[in-house]
């Protein structure tokens, strides 16, 4: 009988602040940090939710629900203008770096897709493989609370996993990591390395990272961004008003890594731009699944099943 080949993978979370609401300068920064992760031997690097061009922190602090607010309309228009249009090749330079350095990238973006008319934005996680190809774009299923004033709800098209060495990688945005059925959709596709992408703050990552690792018997890498009042550039509309309204620190990071036993490998790191880099061993997944595998030997598909619609949703089907 043959024996399973157990291999390792070096992974990284790049905990950085964006050049807020500036797509080109943030993408240039992302490219530099991909290079830094590759220099550390990483085969995968993950970034925070909505990092490019940035999380809409103004919504919570500037009365964003006020109807027909000129300030909110100006900010929203600026946000859309700086969003990522994949069809316009906005991510080509990042893909080129991934290809050159042979590293997979999980990148949080605000996507403005032409396939939905080009005037709404989605919180999208982009998976770029080590060959530099965009392998999937996962649009957040349900924006949370005030995010719904800015982002449109996504679909199941991006609920996929990707082979990377011995591992199978999946990823979710922010509070999607609390959604049991979204997690289950990835478990059932063989996920054993889960990337949880967050806009920042260890109060988000401290509990769910270990819980998801324990439930999935997978490694869970939480990648968070930073955001401070000092990160608001003058180029942002109403920058002075936003600075007056927001706290000194909106996102303190909280990137971390838990093992398949649910224990910390790296507890949440706060307050600094840094790379969280560790080498993980696939054998640990096999060890922990001896007693529990949620969609494998411990699952009961004869009793409960999950149906996932992975069609990309559209308002129009054109027949010419």
How much of the chain exceeds pLDDT 90, in percent?
95
Structure tokens at 174: 């922010």
How far apart are the C-alpha atoms of 118 and 139, rounded to whole Å? 15
Q: Catalytic residue at 29?
A: no
Peptide bond into 53 cis (omega under 30): yes
What sign does the dihedral 63-255-157-306 (CA atoms) show? negative
Query: Could you tell me if 35 and 99 are in contact, meaning their C-beta atoms sit under 8 angstroms apart?
Result: no
Q: Please name each of the domains of the chain with its CATH number.
A: 8-288 (3.60.110.10)
Tell me the CB-side half-sphere exposure of residue 306, using CA atoms within 13 A. 17
Question: Does residue 7 carry a pLDDT above 80?
Answer: yes
- Judged against a pLDDT cut of 70, whether residue 6 lies above it is answered with no
Q: List the catalytic residue out of 123, 174, 191, 288.
A: 174
Condensed to tens digits (0 to 9), the pLDDT of residues 266-278 reads 999 999 999 999 9
Based on the residue annotation, tell me whether 174 is a catalytic residue of this protein: yes
Residues whose CB is less than 8 angstroms from the CB of residue 68 and which lie 6 or more positions away in sequence, other chains included: none
Q: Which two tokens stand for residue 88?
A: 């316009």
Write the pLDDT tens digit of every residue in 218-253: 999 999 999 999 999 999 999 999 999 999 999 999
Q: Catalytic one among 29, 49, 95, 111?
A: 49
Q: Would you call 49 a catalytic residue per the annotation? A: yes
Please state the rounded mean pLDDT for residues 98-103: 98
- Exactly one of 29, 123, 140, 147 is catalytic; name it: 140
> What is the arithmetic mean of pLDDT over 83-112?
98
Residues 133-146: pLDDT tens digits?
A: 999 999 999 999 99
Q: DSSP string covering 60-102, please? A: HHTTTTSTT-HHHHHHHHHHHHHSB-GGGTTTHHHHHHHHHHT
pLDDT of residue 3: 43
Residue 4 has pLDDT above 50, yes or no: no
């Amino acid at each position: 009988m043959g024996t399973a080949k157990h291999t390792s993978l070096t992974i990284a979370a790049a905990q950085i602040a964006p050049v807020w609401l500036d797509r080109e300068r943030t993408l240039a920064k992302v490219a530099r940090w991909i290079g830094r992760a590759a220099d550390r031997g990483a085969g995968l690097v993950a970034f925070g939710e909505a990092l490019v061009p940035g999380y809409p922190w103004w919504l919570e602090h500037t009365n964003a629900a006020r109807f027909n607010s000129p300030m909110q309309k100006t900010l929203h228009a600026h946000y859309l203008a700086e969003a990522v249009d994949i069809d316009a090749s906005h991510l080509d330079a990042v893909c080129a770096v991934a290809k050159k350095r042979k590293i997979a990238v999980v990148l949080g973006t605000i996507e403005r897709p032409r396939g939905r008319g080009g005037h709404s934005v989605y919180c999208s996680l982009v998976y770029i493989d080590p060959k530099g190809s965009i392998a999937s774009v996962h649009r957040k299923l349900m924006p949370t609370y005030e995010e719904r004033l800015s982002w449109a709800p996504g679909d199941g098209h991006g609920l996929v996993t990707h082979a990377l060495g011995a591992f199978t990688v999946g990823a979710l945005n922010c509070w999607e990591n609390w959604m049991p059925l979204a997690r289950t959709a990835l478990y059932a596709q063989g996920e054993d390395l889960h990337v949880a992408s967050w806009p920042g703050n260890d109060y988000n990552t401290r509990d769910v990272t270990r819980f998801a690792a324990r439930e999935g018997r997978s490694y869970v890498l939480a990648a968070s961004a930073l955001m401070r009042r000092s990160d608001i550039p003058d180029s942002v509309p109403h920058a002075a008003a936003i600075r007056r309204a927001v706290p000194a620190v909106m996102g303190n990071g909280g990137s971390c890594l838990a093992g398949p036993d649910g224990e910390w490998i790296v507890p949440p790191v706060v307050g600094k731009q840094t790379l969280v880099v560790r080498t993980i061993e696939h054998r640990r997944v096999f060890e922990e699944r001896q007693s529990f595998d949620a969609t494998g030997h411990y699952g009961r598909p004869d009793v409960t099943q999950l149906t996932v619609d992975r069609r990309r949703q559209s308002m129009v089907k054109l027949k010419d």
